[in-house]
Amino acid sequence: QKEVEQNSGPLSVPEGAIASLNCTYSDRGSQSFFWYRQYSGKSPELIMFIYSNGDKEDGRFTAQLNKASQYVSLLIRDSQPSDSATYLCAVCMYSGGGADGLTFGKGTHLIIQP
């Protein structure tokens, strides 16, 4: 049974600080990893993906992957009130070559306090 675990929160972070979101996964065969942001009443929006161990930066967002520890994280620098949302971690078993569904965590509810 493939599982993705996230702390449901809420995680409260002051505006301008770094928000750190964590995710662990059970399937060692997982190859690609995604972070989605979901505002209340809206559909998930892809904000980051990572395939290799290490860090990947995109603007204020940094995704970190440690396959040995089966751990993925998302850092949001200079947090803004507009970053308040639920962040979903998703994993996929294959890195490519076919269409594969994603396994999602329940999400972490992030609140940025002005």
The footprint of other proteins (CB under 8 A) covers: 4, 32, 34, 36, 42-46, 49, 88, 90, 92, 94-107
The closest alpha carbon to 60, from 20, 12, 114, belongs to 20
Nearest distance in Å: CB 65, other proteins: 15
Q: Which is nearer to other proteins, 36 or 79 (CB)?
A: 36
Q: Which is nearer to other proteins, 53 or 94 (CB)?
A: 94
Q: Which is nearer to other proteins, 35 or 79 (CB)?
A: 35
With 0-12 / 13-18 / 19 or more C-beta atoms within 10 angstroms meaning exposed / middle / buried, residue 71 is: middle
Nearest distance in Å: CB 16, other proteins: 30
Nearest distance in Å: CB 33, other proteins: 10
Residues 6+ apart with CB under 8 A from 111: 9, 10, 11, 12, 13, 84
Nearest distance in Å: CB 22, other proteins: 16
The partner residues of 55 in beta bridges, in order of sequence, read: 64
What six digits make up the tokens of 64?
Answer: 């970190």
